[in-house]
Amino acid sequence: MNSPYSKYFDIDAATTYLTTPGSGLLSRETKQWRTQRDQAFHESNTSLREQQGTMLDSCRNTLGQFFNCPGTNVFLSSCFSFAFNALLAGLPKHYKVLLLDNDYPSVNFPTIISGFEHSFVNMDEQLEANILDAIATFRPNVLILSIVQYISGLKIDLSFIQELKHQHPDLLIIGDGTQFLGTDLFDFDTSGFDAVLSSGYKWLMAGFGNGFILLNDRLKEILYADIQKNYSYLNNQWMNKSVVQLCFEPGHLDTLAHGTLQQSLLQFEQWGYAETVLYTQNLLAKARTELANRGLLLDRILNRRPQSNIFNIQIDPKNFQLLMDEGIKCFPRGSGIRVGFHLYNDHADLEKLLHIIDTKVN
């Protein structure tokens, strides 16, 4: 089955683009919008500079509507890492934090060096049970994890997060959505997460320089609580902004970058986001079956559901250059080669990958 979405992208006929986990493609329409916007913005007679605040508010509202989060609880950032470090800086320093072992370095490293008492959960096919055991013994205030793991593609059970919040309402749950958002339906308000942060350059297909954080009201009150109590000393020109907004958005934001993110979300809506998810999930099911039949999946992926859009194919990473020479865009990660399937991929891409593995990989 051909992708009904690939026609919206400029993909060379000789290229099989399976490296969205590293960087997603921009649609032709989004690229055209960027070109026109950038040219117009730098004209001397433009009014776009004066519309900066209005445009950023519009982007926040689009994000809020897309992921069901109040626009006033959406904050923009240049990337996940900047927003995440601002979040860590606002948490009470006595909090105990539970992390996943070998999670994304930009999640674990800044948490550790921030000085929080922390403990790790073993990441295997029993991940959810491991989390429950760690909560019972370590008693953390915060659980921080990537919703989808960048190396293996392991995906947390989102229904587990909802139940975990029900069982432990005082536990703050913070998710890195960079390898997840854009691949599946997501309702932040009912998700059980207190915060989800993401960059836009992967599955949201929005290029670099944009990211965001979705917050619920409870965490919004906790962050920088001491500063919020002494808000009166701030300069009057900032009185229309909250402390939390000032900490997440301390400087100028790039309207081209965040406008690109907004355009990508609007295009998802134009296509019918639920339909794009259904299409890719059907493709993923086929890919999972074929790779499993060849014994190429990690045990911790094979023995669990749900499935993310990422697969770590268990072939020697030295085959990376071979695959690249054959036009397969991929990347060596961990013990294998990482690939990802997005809406512009189709069964022909999968068949090409499988053919090369079957006939040319040692």
Contacts of 175 (CB under 8 A, 6+ apart): 144, 145, 146, 147, 156, 161, 193, 195, 196, 197
Span 334-346, pLDDT tens digits: 999 999 999 999 9
Q: What is the mean pLDDT of residues 93-111?
A: 98
Q: What is the mean pLDDT of residues 55-61?
A: 96
Span 218-227, pLDDT tens digits: 999 999 998 8
Q: How far apart are CA 36 and CA 80, in angstroms?
A: 27
Span 264-311, pLDDT tens digits: 999 999 999 999 999 999 999 999 999 999 999 999 899 888 999 999
Does residue 233 register a pLDDT over 90? no
pLDDT at position 175: 98
Full-model pTM: 0.96
Does residue 243 register a pLDDT over 90? no
Burial class (CB in 10 A: 0-12, 13-18, 19+), 35: exposed
Q: How far apart are CA 91 and CA 100, in angstroms?
A: 19
Q: How far apart are CA 67 and CA 21, in angstroms?
A: 20
Span 177-226, pLDDT tens digits: 999 999 999 999 999 999 999 999 999 999 999 999 999 999 999 999 98
